[in-house]
């Protein structure tokens, strides 16, 4: 899970560890923000009291920060993708042996999932490829 970590991501992970006390090696960019994946048992400690750790990280890095539960298998794929694209809500998701397909529903939802020049689509394709070894499409 997860591709190669460059020096900037390593800095983000070290800062995350210092502030939250949670050790993780899963961090990626999505929608001009940072998403950190932590095990389910460490989620409350990573968020902090009244989400103070997220606010502090966001102020220090001047980026939007999300902390999500790391998936343990393909059965967690829908919950994982929903938490990344939140607050955008899609209609349904289909998982096959080689592909994950999302039915967006309306045009505005599809536009929000694709992004300008399909930037968000490319980011999500990379995330799905790293975590689930499958292709990703939006219908």
Find the helix packing angle between 119-132 and 77-85, rounded to 10°.
150
What does the alpha-carbon distance between residue 33 and residue 29 come to, in Å, rounded to a whole number?
6
How many separate domains does the chain show? Answer: 2
Asked whether residue 75 is domain-assigned, the answer is no
Asked whether residue 77 is domain-assigned, the answer is no
How many residues in the chain?
A: 139
Provide the pLDDT for residue 3.
63
Asked whether residue 80 is domain-assigned, the answer is no
Asked whether residue 40 is domain-assigned, the answer is yes
Same domain? For 26 and 59 the reply is yes
Asked whether residue 58 is domain-assigned, the answer is yes
Beta-bridge partners for 67: 36
Each of the 139 residues of the chain gets a pLDDT tens digit; together they read 556 778 999 999 999 999 999 999 899 999 999 999 999 999 999 999 999 999 999 999 999 999 999 999 899 999 999 999 998 999 999 999 999 999 998 899 999 999 999 999 999 999 999 999 999 999 9
Domain with 122, as residue range(s), is 85-138
- Which CATH number belongs to the domain containing residue 65 in this structure? 3.30.300.20
Asked whether residue 98 is domain-assigned, the answer is yes
Asked whether residue 79 is domain-assigned, the answer is no
DSSP string, 5-16: --HHHHHHHHHH
Provide the pLDDT for residue 105.
86
Place of tokens 């899609």: 90
Provide the pLDDT for residue 125.
94
Integer angstrom CA distances of residue 91 from 48, 76, 120? 32, 17, 18
Provide the pLDDT for residue 2.
56
Asked whether residue 53 is domain-assigned, the answer is yes
Same domain? For 11 and 50 the reply is yes
């Amino acid at each position: 899970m997860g591709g190669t970590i460059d020096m900037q991501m390593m800095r983000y992970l070290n800062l995350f560890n210092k502030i939250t006390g949670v050790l993780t090696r899963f961090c990626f960019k999505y929608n001009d923000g940072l998403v950190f994946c932590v095990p389910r048992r460490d989620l409350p400690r990573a968020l902090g009291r009244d989400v103070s750790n997220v606010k502090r990280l966001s102020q220090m890095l001047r980026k939007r920060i999300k902390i999500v539960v790391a998936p343990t298998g393909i059965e967690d794929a829908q919950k994982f993708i929903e938490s990344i694209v939140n607050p955008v809500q899609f209609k349904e998701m289909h998982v096959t042996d080689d592909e994950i397909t999302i039915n967006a529903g309306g045009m505005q939802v599809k536009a929000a999932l694709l992004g300008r020049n399909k930037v968000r689509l490319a980011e999500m394709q990379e995330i799905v490829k790293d975590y689930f070894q499958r292709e990703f499409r939006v219908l």
